[in-house]
Structure 1
Amino acid sequence: MSATACSSNPGASPNSGTSTPIVTPPKETPNDNEKKPQEKLEALLQKELSQTKDVAEAVGLTERYMKGVTTEQADQMFMLLEGFYETHLQEAEAQVSNPEVQQKLLQLKWPITLEQASTVKDTELKDLMTNLLKGKYKLESAEGMIFPVVDYEALKSFQPNVSKPMQDYITLMADDSNRPVAKDAGLVISREELIQRTLHAEKFLTSYPASPRYDRIKQLYLNELHMVLFGLDNTPTYDWDSFKLQAEMKQELQKLAQDRENTLTGDMVKEFLAVLKLSKDQLYVKDQGEQKDVPEVRAYMDQMEQRVDTLIRTRTTEG
């Protein structure tokens, strides 16, 4: 897991009449998808994306190439755009991290929108903000710093083109980009919402085990499950002095295991509680003033991903 849409220019359909005069055909554009071998479109888009560093242009190219293609091709194109973000995110961060830019951005009203960007008098800042926002980034702030993140809510504009699994993937990613689970080493959403997000990620994994985005959502799921069980440094599920699971958290986990007994998450929590029974609810122990692992708990954590994979294979609904 560290810039909305450009307008497209649809190609003209060929005239099928026989009485019209012969004319020179228009120059082929990326929108004339019916004129190109379908299997080559993804490679053509990839080539064009590799030749630009402009994120707004990258989004526009992807939108144009997606017109009239199959959902399978649209999925590949969407992932190519994600690859563009991964390659160029550091460049976008560098543009925004300039101290002068930071000061100017901090003076603006949040959240920063395209409409607000259009009113900025500083031409360079205006162009930077407009390009990032049209490229489906959004600006976030933490610890006094402003930085760009991919705005998956804006990327929902691609959902009509892609497959149902990819639509659901975008929705999960949008939930995370709209309201991050954690910030500054602490949970910033309710534990109830955290549990619901964990269950939503689980549903994706069990519904679409063949998805090319399975591994990404599995990592999201494992991160969220870990937060359900252990919390975070600033919002732990255990007492900081004794490293023992808090009584109210134990009750919450017991209820979760009972209410969701037929789910992957319910099974994982049930197994975790069995481990804690052996450790007498100790998630860690204090040894000469230092936090040390409990062997049984460490073993559970080390095999968590493998156990998730095993349980998913027994309950998948695809194939």
Structure 2
Amino acid sequence: MRLLVLGGTEFVGRAVVEDALARDWDVTVFHRGGHAAPSGTTVLHGDRTEEGGLDALAPGRWDAVVDTWAGAPSAVADAARLLAGRAGHYAYVSSRSVYTSPARAGLDEDGPVVDASPEDDGTDYARAKRGGELAAESAFGDRALSVRAGLILGPHENIGRLPWWLGRIARGGPVLAPGPRDLPLQYVDARDLAAWTLDAVEKGLGGPFNLVSPPGHTTTGELLEACAAVTGSDAELRWTDPGAILDAGIQPWTELPIWLPPGETHGALHRGDVSKALATGLRCRPVAETVADTWAWMRSLDGPVPQRPDRPRVGLAPEKEARLLGA
């Protein structure tokens, strides 16, 4: 297989490239040059946001394209139109955020989606991702695959959610653990997303697929206890009622990454229907493996964990945590 990855140097794109190389595929990576591409790839440079930024893609033919773009969907439209006659399949890494909010628990791919177009400016994430889907479909038709990912974790994460928890628990001492302990979590390891996506383009699958683990794949307790085990710290997980956390003004998801209190928003994010992806071969590794591999990657870094410049840093200030634990 000849694969073109638009992106391919960070997190999900990197996982796709590494999986394709492990299959002995011929991989071309197109990116701006800000990060080194994995060894063994053919590298093309260009900036999709600039005039003539796709010129490096003018020649060439590929069996499949994987696009991880998260900005204005016009960039997807431009690339898809350019490649439509020279690529067999176009997989766009989208998001379950495309569903109208609040999405009900158990929603499948037929659920209502936000109004969007390939002409959206990209300032609204949900509309940008839906616009990207429409752009890919316009150029490739049923050869376009929309990978509607949920929460993504794993090595090379540049959002900081799981790395924050690992770093906090590694420091030890009393740790604010948001309850309930058995609250189910639904996420996907970037490497499992990559493996399913490449299998899907090889099979010729098209259309939208929710791409996240089955509901209840793990729990908040299993996740944080795995962090404690792999770091070997003396952290004391102090399980705290959601009401007390919210009353203290602590924000779910941002200050306590990954966590959402029980309710409508939790149901939308952590109880999605993924039966379609499971029926087409999605396999999800145990949470302990995702945690251990992410910690090993963090320890291999010469500097801090990389952070996407277009996303705010996540995590709870120590003094805010201490105030609630003290209370």
Range into which the TM-score falls when normalised by the shorter chain: under 0.3
Structure whose alpha-carbon radius of gyration is higher: 1
Q: RCO greater where, 1 or 2, for CA within 8 Å and sep 6 or more?
A: 2
TM-score, with structure 1 as normaliser: 0.24
TM-score, with structure 2 as normaliser: 0.24
More helix by share: 1
